[in-house]
Amino acid sequence: MFTKTLNRKILLIMFITAIIPIIAISLANHINTSQAYSELINDQQLTIQNSVTSQLTIASEDLLEISESYASNEQLISALNSDDREQMASVLDGIFQRLKEEHNLEVFEIGDEQGIVFYRAHNPEKFGDDKSGDQAINSALSGESQAGFAFGSSGLNIRAFIPIQSGGQTIGTLQTGLNDVFLQNIIQSLSGVSISLYNDQGESLASTNENIEQITINNDLKKVLTGETITSEDSNYIVTYLPMFEPTQTETIGFVQIKQDISDVSRVIAQNEVIGMVIVLITLVFVIVVSVLFSRGISVPLKQVATNMNEISNGNLLVKDIKYRGKDELKQLSDSVNSMKNNLKEIITNVSKASKNVSNKSEKLTQSAKEVRDGSEQIASTMQELSSGTENQATNSTSLFEVMEDFEAKIQHANNNGNDMANMSTDVLEMTQKGSQLMHQSVSQMKTIDDVVQTSISKVEGLQEQSKKISTLVKVINDIAEQTNLLALNAAIEAARAGEHGKGFAVVADEVRKLAGQASESAQDITSIVSSIQSETGNVVHSLNVGYEEVNKGRNEIELTGQSFEAINESVTEMATKIQEISASLREIANNSHAMKSSIEEIASVSEESAAGVEQVAASAQQSTSSMEEITRNAMELDELAVDLNNHVKRFKL
C-alpha cells in the first residue's frame, strides 16, 4: 500500500491538501469563464436576432411606403380603370426599371378588383392568373395595406400588398417584392453570421451560404412553425430559428435560420482549459518536492524512535538511549521513550520477584481448595438424592390433588345434576297429580255428557212421536177441507138453480170453497214440513245414538286413562323420593370430596415446601462445590499465570 509508511502518508496528506484547492479554483474559474462566454455568445446572438428582425421590418416598411406612393399614381389608376394593358405597360416599364436599380425590386404586379393578375412589370407576358385565394390579396382588396414574406411565381421574398383606390373604392391591388439583396445587406452589417430562409417543408428558399441543404422538420422546428422562437447550440455554432409569417401575420409560411460561428470562442475556452491543466501540473510538481523534503525531516527521527521501541517490545532493555538535537515534539517523544525504557526495566525486576512469591502461595491455596471441594461434593450428592425423593413426593401429591380436584368437580357436577333432577321430579310429580285430577274431572264430565245425550235422544224420539200425531191431525184437516170444498160446490149448484134468489148464497159458497182450497193447500204444506221434520228427527236420533256410542267409548277410555294416571302418579312419587335420596347422597359425597381435596392440597403444599427447602440446601451445597471448584481453578490459573509471568520476565534483558 502507498500509505504504509509515515513518510508516504505525509506526502499524501500534503498532496491532497494542495491539489484540492487548486482543482477547486481551476474548476470554479473554468465554470465562471464558460458561463461568461456562454452569456456573451447568447447576448450577441440575441443582438444579431434583434438586428435581423429590425432590418427585415425596416425593409418591409420601406417597401410598403414606396408601394403606397405608386399605388396612388393617376396614370396607373387610369390604365387600370380603362382596362388598357398597353397603357399600363407604358406607365410601369420605366417605373419598374428605376425601382429595380434603386431599391432592388424584382416584383411589380397589378391585380384587378377580382384578384386576377392584370399586368406584371417584371414579366409582362404572364397575366390573367387568379390570386383571389391569396389572403394578402384579399386583405388589400378590403382596403388594408400589408407587407412581409410571401410566396409568388418568382419565389419567396419580402412583398407589399397595397389597395389601388379610385373615387373612394378599391379597383385593384399593387404587389411589389424585393430580391435577395436585402439578405446580403444584412450579412454585411454582421460578421460570422449566415442567414437562410426555409419554407414550412424545410426546403431552402434563400441563403447567404452557397452549400445549403434541406432541413428535416423535427419537434423544435414544428414549434417554430407554430410561432415560437427556438435557439440551439453546439461547439461550433449557435443557431436561432425565427417564425416567418405571411403579410397578414396570421399564418407561418416558413422560418428564418440565423447561424453564428462560435468556433473561435470554443477554441479560446479549450486553450484556457489547457493552460489551467498546465498550471495544475506545475503546482503539483512543486508540492511533491516540498512534501518530500518536509516528510524526510520528520520520518528519519521517527524511524529511530520506532527502532528503539521495536527492541524494547522484543525484551531488549539494554538498547542505547535516543539522542535528538531538536527542541520540538520529536525531542519530547525521544526523551519519553528513553524514560519509558528505564522505568520498564525497574518494573520488570519487581514483577519477577512478585511472581515467584505468587507461585508459591497459589500451590498451597490449590491444595486447600481441593480438600474443601471434595467435602462439598459429598454433601451435594446426599442432598441431591434427598431432593429427588422429595420432588417425587411433591409431584405425586400434586398429581393426586389434580385428580381429586377433577373428581370433586365431577361430583359437584353430578350433585348439581341431582338437584336439577330432584327439582324436575318434583315438577313432574305436581304435573302428574294435576293430570290425575283433570282425568277425574274428565270422567265426571263424560258421565254428564252421557246423561245429556241420553236425555236428548229421549226428547228427540218424543218429538218424532209428536210429529206423527201432527201428521194425523193434518190428514184430518185435509179431509175436512175436501168435504167442505165438495159442500161448497153443491151449494153453488143449488144457488145457480135458485136464480136471482141464490146469488148471495153462491158468493158465500164460492168464498167457502176458496177457504177450503187454502186449508187443503196449507194442510199439504204442513204435511210436507212435518215429513221433513220426521226425516231430520230420524237423522238426529241416529246421530245421537252414534254419538252416544262414541261418548260411551270415550268415557271408558278416559276411565282407563285415569287408572293409568293413578299408576304413573304412584311411580313418579316413588321416583321423586329416590331422586331426593340420591341428591342427598351426592351432596354428602361432594362435601367429603372437598374435605379430601383440602387435605391433599395441604399435603402437596407441605411436600413442595419440603422439596424447595431440600433443593435450596442442595443448590447451596452445589454452589459451595462450584465455588470451591472455581477457587481451585483460579488458584491453578494463578499458579500458571505466575509461572507464565516469570517466563515472560525472563525474556527481558536486564
| Segment (H or E) for 7 | helix 6-71
Note the pLDDT of residue 283: 79
Measure the CA–CA gap between 392 and 615, rounded to whole angstroms. Answer: 12
The amino acid at 565? F
Question: What radius of gyration do the chain's Cα atoms show?
Answer: 74
Measure the CA–CA gap between 222 and 254, rounded to whole angstroms. Answer: 10
Measure the CA–CA gap between 402 and 408, rounded to whole angstroms. Answer: 10
**Closest alpha carbon to 266 in 547, 432, 34:** 34
Note the pLDDT of residue 410: 65
What residue has cell string 264430565? 445
What is the mean pLDDT, run by run of 10 residues, along the chain of 654 residues?
A: 62 75 77 75 76 80 87 88 88 88 88 91 88 86 84 72 89 87 67 76 74 78 85 82 80 82 75 80 79 70 74 72 72 75 72 66 63 62 62 62 65 67 67 69 71 70 70 73 75 73 70 73 74 72 70 71 69 70 69 65 63 62 65 69 67 62
| Cα-based distances in Å from 120 to 85, 127, 182, 327, 617 | 10, 7, 22, 106, 135
Note the pLDDT of residue 183: 65
| Contact between residue 603 and residue 396 where contact means Cβ atoms under 8 Å apart | no
Residue 469 has a CB neighbour count (10 Å cut-off) of 10
Q: Where are the beta strands (DSSP E) in 315-362?
A: none
In the Cβ-directed half-sphere of 528, how many Cα atoms lie within 13 Å? Answer: 5
Residue 626 has a CB neighbour count (10 Å cut-off) of 14
193-199 and 252-261 beta bridge pairing = antiparallel
**Closest alpha carbon to 587 in 414, 423, 357:** 414
Sign of CA dihedral 308, 321, 331, 300: negative
Note the pLDDT of residue 118: 92
Residues facing 399 on adjacent strands: none
| Contact between residue 149 and residue 253 where contact means Cβ atoms under 8 Å apart | yes
Measure the CA–CA gap between 158 and 147, rounded to whole angstroms. Answer: 7
Angle between helix 85-103 and 74-82 (nearest 10): 140
The amino acid at 524? Q
Measure the CA–CA gap between 86 and 343, rounded to whole angstroms. Answer: 132
Sheet holding 169-178, edge to edge: 117-120, 105-112, 169-178, 155-166, 146-152
Residue 529 phi/psi, 5° resolution? -65, -45
Model pTM score: 0.39
Measure the CA–CA gap between 470 and 533, rounded to whole angstroms. Answer: 11
pLDDT, tens digit, 9 for 90 and up, residues 45-84 = 787 778 777 877 888 888 888 888 888 888 888 888 888 8
Alpha-helical (H) ranges within 314-328 are none
Which set of grid coordinates corresponds to residue 37? Answer: 462566454
Which set of grid coordinates corresponds to residue 630? Answer: 472455581
Measure the CA–CA gap between 54 and 104, rounded to whole angstroms. Answer: 19
Measure the CA–CA gap between 551 and 572, rounded to whole angstroms. Answer: 30
Measure the CA–CA gap between 12 and 4, rounded to whole angstroms. Answer: 11
Domains, the chain = 25-274 (3.30.450.20), 361-646 (1.10.287)
Note the pLDDT of residue 381: 66
Measure the CA–CA gap between 308 and 316, rounded to whole angstroms. Answer: 9
| Contact between residue 235 and residue 250 where contact means Cβ atoms under 8 Å apart | no
Note the pLDDT of residue 174: 92
169-178 and 105-112 beta bridge pairing = antiparallel
DSSP 140: H
Q: Which residues fall within 8 angstroms of residue 608, CB to CB, at 6 or more apart? A: 394, 397, 398
Catalogue the long-range contacts made by 349-357 (C-beta closer than 8 Å, 24 or more residues apart).
349/654, 351/645, 351/649, 352/646, 352/649, 352/650, 355/642, 355/643, 355/645, 355/646, 355/649, 356/642, 356/646
**3-class secondary structure, 109:** strand
The amino acid at 244? M
Measure the CA–CA gap between 138 and 291, rounded to whole angstroms. Answer: 85
pLDDT, tens digit, 9 for 90 and up, residues 332-387 = 777 777 777 777 777 777 776 666 666 666 666 666 656 656 665 665 666 566 56
Alpha-helical (H) ranges within 208-262 are 219-225
